């Protein structure tokens, strides 16, 4: 028997590597950067922790200068978190998308395809 432990993948959806700026819908301020994305959610890296037990309204998929039509608007909920032990601490959070529309899911699929082509 091997002395090495093998990690068992528990995720049911494949994650796609991305580097997207994520903004608050309320303030248009940069919250952090999405590092992976799938149709149900994303992993985001931030400099401040994302609050527990509350919905977070975000947008991504375009720059602030691009037309508002190109932005992907979502409401999310944090389902997990971790953080680094470095001097400039980073917080990693898993965000679940709450009831995205079919149009929003289509935009996410397009973004995933373009980012991984």
The per-residue pLDDT for range 89-110, each reduced to its tens digit, is 999 999 999 999 999 999 999 8
**For residue 7, what pLDDT band results from cuts at 50, 70 and 90?**
very low
What are the respective helix, strand and coil percentages of the chain, to the nearest 5?
A: 15, 40, 45
**C-alpha angle with apex 9: 7 to 50, nearest 5 degrees?**
105
**For residue 13, what pLDDT band results from cuts at 50, 70 and 90?**
low
**CA-CA distances (angstroms) from residue 13 to 41, 61, 98?**
10, 20, 16
CA 92 to chain centre: 10
Span 30-84, pLDDT tens digits: 999 999 998 899 999 999 999 999 999 999 988 777 777 789 999 999 999 999 8
* pTM (two decimals): 0.81
Q: What is the chain's mean pLDDT, rounded?
A: 85
Query: What confidence score (pLDDT) does residue 92 get?
Result: 96
Structure token pair of residue 54: 């509350």
């Amino acid at each position: 028997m091997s002395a090495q432990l093998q990690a068992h993948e528990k995720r049911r959806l494949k994650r796609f590597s991305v580097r997207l700026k994520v903004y608050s819908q309320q303030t248009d301020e940069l919250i952090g950067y999405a590092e992976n994305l799938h149709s149900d959610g994303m992993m985001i890296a931030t400099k401040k922790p994302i609050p527990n037990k509350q919905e977070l309204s975000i947008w991504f998929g375009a720059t602030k200068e691009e037309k508002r039509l190109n932005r992907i608007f979502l409401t999310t909920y944090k389902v997990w978190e971790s953080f680094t032990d470095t001097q400039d601490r980073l917080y990693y959070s898993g965000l679940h998308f709450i009831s995205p529309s079919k149009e929003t899911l289509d935009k996410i699929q397009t973004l995933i395809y373009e980012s991984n082509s």
